[in-house]
Amino acid sequence: MKYIIGMDGGGTNTVCAIADIEGNVLYKCSGGPSNFLIKGTEVISQNIFSLIENCVSKLRIKYSEIKIIVIGVTGGGRREDADHLRQSIIALSNNKGIEFEKILVESDALIALEGAFSGRPGSILISGTGSIMFGKDDKEKIYRVGGFGRIIGDGGSGYSIGRKGLNAMSKQFDGRDEFTEISKLMYDNFNITSAEILISEVYRNNFDVASVAPIVISAAENNDKIALRIIEEEAEELLLHIESMLKKINQPVMNLAFIGGIISRDNIFSRTLKQKISYRVPHVNILEPENSPEIGAIIIGKNLISA
């Protein structure tokens, strides 16, 4: 019997699923992080291999029965980086006397796209710490919008919302802007009470800027004027992603799934974005993802085997 392994590698943990050759999932497990751009390929290769070992042990199969392994990770969309991780996994496996038939490293966004629509055409809008959009048309062509990172991109992301929240707080400390509830919530959650502490946290203590996004959203839910302005601006950034993707895909109707903690939950930010979509791009259908990203990795593997 032959098997397919699909993995969704994140910054904190990796979800792994193993399926038969028809794509029927037989077992799932999870392990350590897979962000090789931060942890390095050696550590991440060990984490990935331990999940493969778990699957082999649980199903009592042979390594040689694994037909393909598809791993979706942050940074996997850059071929050079993806191949670096792939070669590291192969080297580790070979050192253990194991040779896999095929290993594929892909973008975590691509496997999320394939999972969301079970391999059919559609688009996903991801807004977590960063932001990016992937789409696929009826000719199987993949398109991308955004994903330029926090320095030159990531509009509509947790980082961008959080940065604007901190900026609003700095203006209040200086007396350059009016009071915002963001400052009160930052005091309650992080005990930041002065400009000096704010500067120290951001520039010396590696403060998690994206962690401020829920505070901005909470302040907006309480009708804070400055927070509402940030929400409006950042929702507009994501709408620009969608409008750009519509031009690329060039189809009369586009199915869209929201992914990521910022927009997949019901909050004022996701509601504002949905309202903008209904007014400005009504031929976009917002749907719930059909499958999780690791299942998308299995779908990719199954399609490659069938090709």
DSSP string, 15-75: EEEEEETT--EEEEEEES---HHHH-HHHHHHHHHHHHHHHHHHHT--GGGEEEEEEEETT
Confidence at residue 29, expressed as pLDDT on a 0 to 100 scale: 93
Residues in the chain: 307
Residues of the chain with pLDDT under 70: 37-40, 307
Do 58 and 147 lie in a common domain? no
What is d(CA 75, CA 82) in angstroms, rounded to the nearest whole number?
7
Structure token digits, residue 21: 């050759």
Confidence at residue 193, expressed as pLDDT on a 0 to 100 scale: 86
What is d(CA 197, CA 195) in angstroms, rounded to the nearest whole number?
6
Confidence at residue 252, expressed as pLDDT on a 0 to 100 scale: 86
Do 169 and 265 lie in a common domain? yes
CB atoms within 10 A of CB 186: 24
Do 167 and 69 lie in a common domain? no
Do 151 and 276 lie in a common domain? yes
Do 181 and 217 lie in a common domain? yes
Yes or no: say if 307 and 13 are a contact pair by the CB < 8 Å rule: no
Structure token digits, residue 54: 């778990």
Do 232 and 137 lie in a common domain? yes
Range of the domain at 242: 126-286
Confidence at residue 192, expressed as pLDDT on a 0 to 100 scale: 87
What is d(CA 15, CA 32) in angstroms, rounded to the nearest whole number?
9
Confidence at residue 37, expressed as pLDDT on a 0 to 100 scale: 64
Do 95 and 157 lie in a common domain? no
